[in-house]
Amino acid sequence: MSRGAGQGPATPEEAARSTAPEAATRPYSTTQGEAVAAKRRPPNMSRGAGQGPATPEEAACSTAPEATTRAAVIVNPVKVDAARLRPVVAAAERAAGWAETLWFETTLDDAGELIAREAVAQGAAVVVAAGGDGTVRAVAEGLRDTGVPIGLLPVGTGNLLARNLDLTLTNLELAVTAVFAGRDHAIDVGVIRATRADDTVEEKVFLVMAGLGIDAKMIAKTNKKLRKAVGWLAYVDGIGRALPELKPVKLRFRLDGSSWRTTSVHTVIVGNCGMLPGGLLLIPDAKPDDGVLDIVALRPEGPLGWLRVWNKLAFENGVLRRSAAGRKIIDLNNDVRSVSYSTGRDFELTLDGVEEIQLDGDEWGTARAVHTWVDPGALLVRIPADHPALPAA
C-alpha cells in the first residue's frame, strides 16, 4: 500500500490499480492499436509547415475514397487525332468521378483485338474504339464474351455499327458522355471462318455484314485516298470499277445443317444488321440482338436485272416499307428472285473458285469456302442511358 519513501500510504484507488492484471496480458497488436488511434484522431487538417490549417473542402478531399473505375480508349492514329479527343474524355471522366483513362494506339500488327484484351486485363470497365469500322470490329473481337462493353465514337468513315444502333453520328461530346454515364446493351456477333485457296483457315468476327460478290469487289476496288477524302461516297467509284468484272458466282450452300443446294448468284451477304452508309436499308428485318443472321442473295436477270435490284433496295426497302400501304404493295410484288432473304443461325457455302470477301466494309482477302454462324449476345455495347430504341442488357 506504500507509494515510496516520504509519500505516505496509498489511497484505496491506487491500491486497486496496483493489484490489477498487467495490460500486456490482453491480446492487442500494434496494428490494432494504430487502427484504434486512427479512429480517435481528428482528420489531418494540416497542409504543411507554414501553410496553416486546411479548408473544410481540402479536408473532405483528403478523406474521400480514391476512384478505381476507369475506361480505356484504343485510338487508330491514322484515323483519329487523339489530341482532340483527350480533353473531351478527361472532362467526362471527371464528371463521372472515374479514375484516369487508359490510352492505347493500334499498330500494323494489332488493329485492336489484343490491345482490347490487355485493357481488360488492366481493369478497364469499358473499352472505347476510336477509329473506323475495322477498329471497331477488332476491338469487339477482343471484348467478345468478356462482359466488358465497347464504347463507340463517331469518328470513322461508315460508323456502321453506331448507325445500325441509332447512336449519334456527329456529336462527339454526347458519345463520350454515354461511355461514362450510359448503360449496356447486349448484341449478337457474327463469326466467319474462311478457307483460303491454299487450304489455310482463318476466323474473324463481324458486327454488321460479311459478303462476297459485287459488294466485296466494290470495296476491294474503291480508291483508298478517295474514301478518306469523301467517305462512303467513294464506294460509287468502287462500283464502277467492279461492274466490268461482274459475273455470276456458282456455289453450294446449306442453312442450319440442312441439305446442300446449288445456285448461282452475283452477291451473297450475311447480315447481323441491315443498314448501309447513306441510310440504304439492305436487310429490313435484320436486328443485332435477335439471335439469328439474315442472308440476302442478289440474282439480277436480263438487261433490267440490276434496275429491279436497285428498285427493291432503294425504293421498296427505303420508301414503301415505311408505311402500311407501301408494305401491301411490296406483298403484291412477285419478284422474289432478284433479291431473296432468309434467316438462320449457321450458314455454309463452297465456291467453284475463289471470291473476294468483305467484313464490315473492309476487304478480307479471298476464299473458296465460307462458314458463318451467330454468337448470340456475345458483345456488350455502351449506349446512352435514355436510348429509346434498345432495351437494357
pLDDT given for residue 361 in this prediction:
84
Closest CA to 137 of 201, 217, 204: 204
Interval 188-198 mean pLDDT: 98
Q: Which residue has the higher pLDDT, 5 or 245?
A: 245
- Alpha-carbon gap, residue 279 to 272, rounded angstroms: 16
pLDDT given for residue 313 in this prediction:
65
* 1-10, 252-261, 324-333: range with highest mean pLDDT: 252-261
Give the length of the chain: 393
What percent of the chain has a predicted confidence (pLDDT) above 90?
A: 54
Does residue 259 register a pLDDT over 80?
yes
pLDDT given for residue 331 in this prediction:
52
CA distances from 68 to 17, 87, 180, 321, 356 (A): 50, 20, 13, 48, 46
Residue pair 299/214 in contact (Cβ under 8 Å)? The answer is: no
Number of H helices, E strands in the chain: 13, 14
Q: Which fold has domain 190-376?
A: Tumour Suppressor Smad4 (2.60.200)
pLDDT given for residue 282 in this prediction:
85
Name residues whose C-beta falls within 8 Å of residue 296's C-beta, 6 or more positions apart in sequence. 267, 268, 269, 271, 282, 283, 339, 340, 341
Q: What is the 3-state secondary structure (H, E, C) of 38-67?
A: HHHCCCCCECCCCCCECCHHHHHHHHCCCC
Q: Is 301 exposed, middle or buried (0-12, 13-18, 19+ CB in 10 A)?
A: middle
- Alpha-carbon gap, residue 308 to 304, rounded angstroms: 6
pLDDT given for residue 150 in this prediction:
98
pLDDT given for residue 327 in this prediction:
47
pLDDT in tens, 312-337: 666 565 544 555 544 444 454 555 56
Does residue 230 register a pLDDT over 60?
no
Indicate the angle between helix axes 234-242 and 214-221, nearest 10 degrees: 120
Does residue 227 register a pLDDT over 60?
no
Helical H segments across 19-129, by residue range:
30-40, 56-63, 82-96, 113-121
Name residues whose C-beta falls within 8 Å of residue 389's C-beta, 6 or more positions apart in sequence. 165, 166
Residue pair 155/167 in contact (Cβ under 8 Å)? The answer is: no
User: What average pLDDT is seen over the chain?
Assistant: 78
**DSSP 8-class letter at 8:** -
Residue extents of the structural domains in the chain:
71-181, 190-376
Does residue 28 register a pLDDT over 80?
no
Does residue 18 register a pLDDT over 70?
no
State the residue for C-alpha cell 476507369.
70
**314-326: buried (b, 16+ CB within 10 Å) or exposed (e) per residue?**
eebbbebeeeeee
CA distances from 61 to 52, 70, 153 (A): 17, 19, 32
Does residue 62 register a pLDDT over 80?
no
Does residue 79 register a pLDDT over 60?
yes
Q: Which residue has the higher pLDDT, 176 or 240?
A: 176
Does residue 5 register a pLDDT over 60?
no
Residue pair 9/20 in contact (Cβ under 8 Å)? The answer is: no
CA distances from 328 to 22, 242, 282 (A): 96, 35, 19
* 127-136, 219-228, 316-325: range with highest mean pLDDT: 127-136
pLDDT given for residue 37 in this prediction:
36
- Alpha-carbon gap, residue 267 to 246, rounded angstroms: 10
Q: For 184, how many CA atoms within 13 A lie in the half-sphere containing its CB?
A: 13
Interval 303-319 mean pLDDT: 63
Q: Considering only 39-53, 184-198, 246-260, 359-373, which range has the smallest mean pLDDT? A: 39-53
pLDDT given for residue 333 in this prediction:
56
Q: Which fold has domain 71-181?
A: Rossmann fold (3.40.50)
Q: Which residue has the higher pLDDT, 222 or 250?
A: 250
Q: Which residue has the higher pLDDT, 89 or 284?
A: 89
Q: Considering only 197-201, 277-281, 382-386, which range has the smallest mean pLDDT? A: 277-281
Interval 243-252 mean pLDDT: 75
Does residue 215 register a pLDDT over 70?
no
E strands, 140-292, are 150-152, 183-195, 201-206, 209-213, 249-255, 261-265, 267-271
